[in-house]
Amino acid sequence: MTSQLRKDHISGRWVIIASERSKRPDDFRPAQPEKKDNPAGFCPFCSGNETKTPPEVFSLRKNGSGPDEPGWWVRVVPNKFPALTRGALPQRASQGLFESMEGIGVHEVIIETPEHDQEWSDLPLAHLRDVLWTYQQRIRSIETESQYQYIQVFKNKGKEAGASLSHPHSQIVATPIIPKRVKEEVWSSDRFFRKTKKCLFCRTLEQEITAKERLIRINSHFAVTAPFASRFPFEMRVLPLRHSPFFSKVSDAELLSLADNLKAVLTKFRNILSDPPFNVILHQGPHPVLARKTWPNVESLFHWHLEIIPVLTRLAGFEWGTGFYINPVPPELAASYLRE
Amino acid sequence: MTSQLRKDHISGRWVIIASERSKRPDDFRPAQPEKKDNPAGFCPFCSGNETKTPPEVFSLRKNGSGPDEPGWWVRVVPNKFPALTRGALPQRASQGLFESMEGIGVHEVIIETPEHDQEWSDLPLAHLRDVLWTYQQRIRSIETESQYQYIQVFKNKGKEAGASLSHPHSQIVATPIIPKRVKEEVWSSDRFFRKTKKCLFCRTLEQEITAKERLIRINSHFAVTAPFASRFPFEMRVLPLRHSPFFSKVSDAELLSLADNLKAVLTKFRNILSDPPFNVILHQGPHPVLARKTWPNVESLFHWHLEIIPVLTRLAGFEWGTGFYINPVPPELAASYLRE
Q: What is the pLDDT of residues A117-155, one digit of tens each?
A: 999 999 999 999 999 999 999 999 999 998 899 999 999
What percent of chain B shows pLDDT beyond 90? 84
A318 or B24: which leads in pLDDT: A318
Q: What is the CATH number of domain A44-86+100-177?
A: 3.30.428.10
Residues of B in contact with A103 (CB under 8 A): 2-5, 16-18
Kindly report the nearest CA distance between residue A42 and chain B, in angstroms.
Answer: 20
Q: pLDDT, tens digit, for every residue of B46-85?
A: 999 999 999 999 999 999 999 999 999 999 999 999 999 9
Distance between CA atoms of residues A287 and A179, nearest Å: 12
Smallest CA–CA distance from A326 into chain B, residue: B83
Model confidence band, residue A288 (pLDDT cutoffs 50, 70, 90): confident
Contact status, residue B253 vs residue B279, Cβ threshold 8 Å: no
Residues of B in contact with A84 (CB under 8 A): 2-3, 16
* Residue A328 CB coordination number (10 Å): 22
Contact status, residue A15 vs residue A226, Cβ threshold 8 Å: no
Q: pLDDT, tens digit, for every residue of B193-238?
A: 999 999 999 999 999 999 999 999 999 999 999 999 999 999 999 9
Distance between CA atoms of residues A175 and A152, nearest Å: 8
pLDDT at B37 over 70: no
pLDDT at A255: 98
Structure-derived torsion over alpha carbons of residues B317, B318, B322, B328, reported in degrees to the nearest 10:
-130
Mean pLDDT over B302-322 rounds to: 94
Q: Do B17 and A159 touch (CB under 8 A)?
A: no
Q: What is the mean pLDDT of chain A?
A: 93
Q: pLDDT, tens digit, for every residue of B109-167?
A: 999 999 999 999 999 999 999 999 999 999 999 999 988 999 999 999 999 999 989 99
Q: pLDDT, tens digit, for every residue of B248-280?
A: 999 999 999 999 999 999 999 999 999 999 999
Query: Most A CBs within 10 Å: which of B324, B326, B332, as the mutation test of the A interface?
Result: B324
Distance between CA atoms of residues B94 and A5, nearest Å: 12
pLDDT at B60: 98
Kindly report the nearest CA distance between residue B154 and chain A, in angstroms.
Answer: 5
A196 touches chain B (CB under 8 A): no
Q: Domain spanning A1-30+180-340: which superfamily?
A: HIT-like (3.30.428.10)
What percent of chain A shows pLDDT beyond 90? 84
Assess whether B243 carries a catalytic annotation.
no
pLDDT at A181: 92
Mean pLDDT over A252-272 rounds to: 97
pLDDT at A91 over 60: yes
B309 touches chain A (CB under 8 A): yes
- Our CA angle for B201, B202, B204, nearest 5°, is 60
Mean pLDDT over B187-193 rounds to: 96
A27 or A33: which leads in pLDDT: A27
Smallest CA–CA distance from B93 into chain A, residue: A6
pLDDT at A35 over 80: no
Q: pLDDT, tens digit, for every residue of A181-221?
A: 999 999 999 999 999 999 999 999 999 999 999 999 999 99
Domains A1-30+180-340 and A44-86+100-177 share a fold: yes
A93 touches chain B (CB under 8 A): no
The DSSP 8-state label assigned to residue B23 in this structure reads: -
Q: What is the mean pLDDT of chain B?
A: 93
- Segments making up each domain of chain A, as ranges: 1-30+180-340, 44-86+100-177
Contact status, residue B309 vs residue A318, Cβ threshold 8 Å: no
pLDDT at A18: 86
Contact status, residue A310 vs residue A157, Cβ threshold 8 Å: no
CB burial readout A146-180, b (16+ within 10 A) else e: eebbbbbbbbbbbbbbbbebbbbbbbbbbbbbbbb
The DSSP 8-state label assigned to residue B36 in this structure reads: P
The DSSP element (H or E) to which B310 belongs, if any, is strand B305-310
Mean pLDDT over A289-306 rounds to: 92
Contact status, residue A265 vs residue A335, Cβ threshold 8 Å: no
Q: Do A83 and B207 touch (CB under 8 A)?
A: no
pLDDT at B129: 98
Please report the residues numbered 233 through 252 in chain B whose beta carbons come closer than 8 angstroms to any beta carbon of chain A.
Answer: none
Is CATH 3.30.428.10 correct for B4-86+95-338?
yes
Smallest CA–CA distance from B177 into chain A, residue: A14
Look up residue B102 and give its amino acid.
Answer: E
pLDDT at A314: 87
Residues of A in contact with B104 (CB under 8 A): 2
Distance between CA atoms of residues B146 and B108, nearest Å: 17
Q: How far apart, in Å, are the Cα atoms of A25 and each of A19, A22, A158, A234, A320?
A: 14, 10, 18, 9, 25
B53 touches chain A (CB under 8 A): no
- Closest to B267 (Cα-Cα) out of B122, B51, B79, B128: B122
A79 touches chain B (CB under 8 A): no
Beta partners for B237? B225, B307
- Catalytic residues of A, by residue number, are 169
Active-site position among B169, B221, B283, B287:
B169
pLDDT at A291: 87
Smallest CA–CA distance from A179 into chain B, residue: B322
pLDDT at A273 over 90: yes
Residues of A in contact with B183 (CB under 8 A): none
B4 touches chain A (CB under 8 A): yes
**Which ipTM did the prediction report?**
0.92
B181 touches chain A (CB under 8 A): yes
